[in-house]
Amino acid sequence: MEEFDHIIVGAGSAGCVLANRLSAESSNRVLLVEAGGGDQHLFVQMPTALSYPMAMNRFNWGYYSDPEPGLDGRRISCPRGKGLGGTSSINGMVYVRGNAQDYEEWESLGAAGWGYRDCLPYFKRAESWVGGGNRYRGKTGP
């Protein structure tokens, strides 16, 4: 049986980045496993078709919230991507950073290194913003 130093479950955005970073060290044996399939389907490749893969079991795990008391007991759909790229494959290329004040609050509550200023370089590293890089946006990301 083959052995690995690191096993990563889920080839979503975070899983793929983690596997890439760990495998950059040639001595690391890394296994990345994904329950879903590839991301080459037309509906996944076409951002304006995002409502289709979100409604297809092939691409979406089909999670729902618990009944919401403030919504008369209704359950809310919580789309989560199944396949290479995870939810980033079915969200129509939407990217929203968390609110800077939330990061600052986490740090004030003891999450050292999770302040907005600490996280900003990593956000920028992941971006190749069409407007070019600046103080808040990256320009050399994937």
Q: Quote the pTM value.
A: 0.72
Domains of the chain by residue range: 1-33, 41-95, 97-133
Task: For residues 43 and 120, give the distance between their C-alpha atoms in angstroms, rounded to a whole number.
Answer: 32
User: Could you tell me which residues come within 8 angstroms of residue 83 by beta carbon, excluding any fewer than 6 positions away?
Assistant: 11, 34, 36, 37, 38, 39, 44, 58, 59, 89
- Contact criterion met (CB below 8 Å) for 64 and 76: yes
Q: Is 67 left (phi over 0), alpha (psi -120 to 50) or beta?
A: beta
| Res 46: pLDDT | 92
Whether the pLDDT of residue 95 is over 90: the answer is: no
- pLDDT tens by residue, 50-94: 899 999 999 999 999 999 999 999 999 999 999 999 999 999 888
pLDDT at 93: 83
* Highest mean pLDDT: which range of 39-48, 106-115, 129-138: 106-115
Query: How far is Cα 142 from Cα 74, in angstroms, rounded to an integer?
Result: 39
Yes or no: say if 23 and 8 are a contact pair by the CB < 8 Å rule: no
Mean of pLDDT values over 97-123: 97
pLDDT digits (tens, 9 = 90+) for 13-61: 899 999 999 999 999 999 999 999 988 999 999 989 989 999 999 999 9
Residue identified by tokens 């994904």 is: 34
pLDDT for res 35:
94
